[in-house]
Structure 1
Amino acid sequence: MAMTLAQRTQLRKRAATEAARTAPAALMDGLTSYELMLAKLQQDQQRLKQVQSQQNKARVKAELLPEYVPYVEGVLAGGKGAQDDVLVTVMIWRFDAADFAGGLDIAEYAIQHNLQTPNRFNRTTGCLIAEEVAQVALTTQKAGGVFPHDILTRTALLTAEQDMPDEARAKLTLALGRSTLAGLDENNPGQPGQIQTGIDLLKAAIQQHDSCGGKKDLERAERLLKKHAGDAS
């Protein structure tokens, strides 16, 4: 469904207007813009079912997501928190397509208004947000890459008060601890207190879930702290 600029603008304005007059805890069902995007979502989901590779699914989602932007912008601008499966699904797709900043923009709205995830995801919204970001971060770090520290920090702050299994919380805390310590070594102690901050995060992750995988990271970080403490004395 390729839309013209005028159609995109109209959709954004209509979504904002309709979302603004839909009360919290109500459903967006029956509203013109929502029904339009819900029909598109169902069509796109059928397309995705034909794709077996998760990497290819992510590429398809990246191709599809721009068509949802006007609707998302409208709801975020004018919405009062009505339950919106289109919005929550787009949030997840943005994470899958590695648009973490865009996903977190929706996540802030979703958590603020206590939006629920569609039943097929079997996780609370806060848990899903934390795990979606943490899992990609941990995979990236394991492969020797660097995941954006600001995205991890934003996710941790956003989900700090959300209830979730300890294992899910530990994944995010571990990823943040590793990110805090990234690039630090015997020749680079980082900013004052940075190593200790990383150690505290790793300890917290281990306390949250003993098998999170952070024990060797903690041992290395503690050795590094002792090394630099000795150099400073």
Structure 2
Amino acid sequence: MKPTSPAQRHMARVLAEKAAATSVHGEPVQGSAYDLMCAKLITDRQRLKQIQSIKKKIEVKREILPDYNEWVESTLKYGKGAQDTVLVTVLVWYIDTGDYARALEVAHYCMFHNLSLPDQYNRNLATMLLDEIPGEYLAGRFENPKEALATLKAVQLMTVDEDVPDQAMAKLYKALGYAQIGKIGNGDIEFDQLSEDDTSRALDYLRKALDLTDGIGVKKDIERLERRLKQLADAKTQTQAQA
């Protein structure tokens, strides 16, 4: 089912581009190329379903995702917003495997065209993004807080006007707050080393999270950030008095 020769890959790309360009916005994608990709998706899902280990599932997803590259590229370039089960499923797999940059590319297209997730996900696309990408950060799966902060802000921009559960939006604000001060997973933070700007921004994010969901688990860190702001304000006042 996977094209192996350059000629086969070229033909697959041509058919994928045709399917993307000729399918109607809001309607299911049409064409033989889509039928083949759906058949492959069913086979890959069945393979994944037989695997118990989450780690192994992720490894297999990394292995099979390149098979979808031409379909994804063609859809992003030529697509008109037709409903595409393959694309939205692959979006979830990009998140699962930690390819957040690619996930954001696909998510932007899907959100712009208001695509739906398959029924088994039991939530809309915006809620999935708010659950999964901040969840990945809070679980310690991002290595760089600055890159994470940019990714989380992109998710915020895509979902800001969406109707989503408060818990999902609270998770985003919690992740944004922690990314602002460099806290990854259960890592420790030296609060007395934080700048006023980072402290203030993080405090604002965590307060928003707490306002949405009381049990979001940020109260102690809010208190620490408030103490840090007071410490910085007192130091500034003392400096001005001595001048």
Aligned-residue sequence identity (percent) comes to 37
Give the whole-Å Cα distance in 2 for the aligned partners of 1:212 and 1:2: 47
Structure 1 unmatched runs, 5+: none
The one-letter code matched in structure 1 to 2:27 is: A
TM-score when scaled to structure 1? 0.92
Matches of residues 1-233 of structure 1 in structure 2 within 5 Å? 1=2, 3-29=4-30, 31-140=31-140, 146-147=144-145, 148-182=148-182, 185-189=191-195, 193-233=197-237
1:196–1:75 CA distance, 2 compared to 1 (3 A)? same
Rate the CA distance shift 1:27–1:201 in 2: closer, same or farther, 3 A: same
**RMSD across aligned positions (CA):** 1.8
Shift of 1:26: 1.1
Structure 2 CA distance for aligned equivalents of residues 136 and 69 of structure 1: 23
Number of aligned residue pairs: 228
The amino acid of 2:26's aligned partner reads A
* Equivalent-residue separation in structure 2 for 1:9 and 1:231 (angstroms): 65
CA distance in 1, matches of 2:102, 2:201: 28
Which AA in structure 2 matches 1:120? Q
Select the structure of larger CA radius of gyration.
2
Measure, in 1, the Cα distance between the counterparts of 2:193 and 2:46: 53
**Structure 2 length-normalised TM:** 0.88
**Partner Cα separation in structure 1 for residue 66 and residue 129 of structure 2:** 21
Q: Which runs of 5+ in 2 are unaligned?
A: 183-188, 238-243
Shift of 1:184: 6.0
Deviations 1:185-231 (A, max 9, x none): 32341xx5221111111000001111111111111111111112222
- The answer to whether the Cα contact below 8 Å between 1:166 and 1:209 also exists between their aligned partners in 2 is yes
Corresponding residue of 2:185: none
Distance 1:151 1:25 in 2: 27
Taking a change above 3 Å as real, the CA distance of residues 91 and 219 of structure 1, as seen in their structure-2 partners, is same
